[in-house]
Protein backbone atom coordinates (compact mmCIF):
# COMPACT_ATOMS: atom_id res chain seq x y z
CA UNK A 1 0.00 0.00 0.00
CA UNK A 2 2.94 2.31 0.69
CA UNK A 3 4.02 2.12 -2.94
CA UNK A 4 0.57 3.20 -4.10
CA UNK A 5 0.55 6.07 -1.60
CA UNK A 6 3.98 7.23 -2.78
CA UNK A 7 2.89 7.15 -6.41
CA UNK A 8 -0.17 9.19 -5.58
CA UNK A 9 1.97 11.74 -3.75
CA UNK A 10 4.37 11.97 -6.70
CA UNK A 11 1.63 12.34 -9.29
CA UNK A 12 -0.68 14.68 -7.42
CA UNK A 13 1.41 16.46 -4.82
CA UNK A 14 -1.05 15.49 -2.10
CA UNK A 15 0.24 15.41 1.48
CA UNK A 16 0.94 11.90 2.74
CA UNK A 17 -2.07 11.75 5.06
CA UNK A 18 -4.46 12.78 2.27
CA UNK A 19 -2.86 10.33 -0.17
CA UNK A 20 -3.20 7.51 2.37
CA UNK A 21 -6.87 8.35 2.89
CA UNK A 22 -7.45 8.39 -0.88
CA UNK A 23 -5.77 5.01 -1.36
CA UNK A 24 -7.72 3.45 1.50
CA UNK A 25 -10.96 4.83 0.04
CA UNK A 26 -10.25 3.37 -3.40
CA UNK A 27 -9.17 0.00 -1.98
CA UNK A 28 -12.31 -0.20 0.16
CA UNK A 29 -14.45 0.73 -2.84
CA UNK A 30 -12.87 -1.96 -5.00
CA UNK A 31 -13.23 -4.63 -2.30
CA UNK A 32 -16.90 -3.68 -1.94
CA UNK A 33 -17.66 -3.70 -5.68
CA UNK A 34 -15.61 -6.66 -6.92
CA UNK A 35 -16.74 -10.27 -6.56
CA UNK A 36 -15.88 -11.73 -3.15
CA UNK A 37 -12.91 -13.88 -4.19
CA UNK A 38 -11.28 -11.02 -6.11
CA UNK A 39 -12.06 -8.47 -3.43
CA UNK A 40 -10.44 -10.59 -0.76
CA UNK A 41 -7.29 -10.92 -2.86
CA UNK A 42 -6.86 -7.16 -2.83
CA UNK A 43 -5.73 -7.37 0.79
CA UNK A 44 -2.96 -9.76 -0.22
CA UNK A 45 -1.94 -7.52 -3.08
CA UNK A 46 -1.90 -4.41 -0.91
CA UNK A 47 0.19 -6.14 1.75
CA UNK A 48 2.94 -6.64 -0.81
CA UNK A 49 2.34 -10.28 -1.76
CA UNK A 50 4.28 -10.33 -5.05
CA UNK A 51 2.90 -13.74 -6.00
CA UNK A 52 -0.61 -12.41 -5.77
CA UNK A 53 0.21 -9.59 -8.18
CA UNK A 54 1.12 -12.16 -10.82
CA UNK A 55 -2.03 -14.17 -10.18
CA UNK A 56 -4.19 -11.12 -10.74
CA UNK A 57 -2.55 -10.54 -14.10
CA UNK A 58 -3.81 -7.51 -15.99
CA UNK A 59 -6.59 -6.70 -13.56
CA UNK A 60 -5.01 -3.30 -12.84
CA UNK A 61 -5.17 -2.36 -16.50
CA UNK A 62 -8.76 -3.48 -16.73
CA UNK A 63 -9.69 -1.48 -13.65
CA UNK A 64 -8.02 1.59 -15.13
CA UNK A 65 -10.95 1.85 -17.53
CA UNK A 66 -13.31 2.14 -14.57
CA UNK A 67 -11.57 5.35 -13.63
CA UNK A 68 -11.36 6.77 -17.14
CA UNK A 69 -7.74 5.84 -17.79
CA UNK A 70 -7.22 4.00 -21.08
CA UNK A 71 -3.60 2.85 -21.16
Tell me the pLDDT tens digit for each residue of 16-28: 999 999 999 999 9
CB 4 within 8 A of CB 23: yes
pLDDT digits (tens, 9 = 90+) for 22-58: 999 999 999 888 888 887 788 888 877 555 445 544 5
CB 8 within 8 A of CB 23: yes
Please tell me the pTM assigned to this model.
0.61
Nearest to 56 by CA among 70, 40, 33: 40
* Segments making up each domain of the chain, as ranges: 1-10+24-56
Amino acid sequence: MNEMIQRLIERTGLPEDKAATAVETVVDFLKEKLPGPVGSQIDSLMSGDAGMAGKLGGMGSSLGGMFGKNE
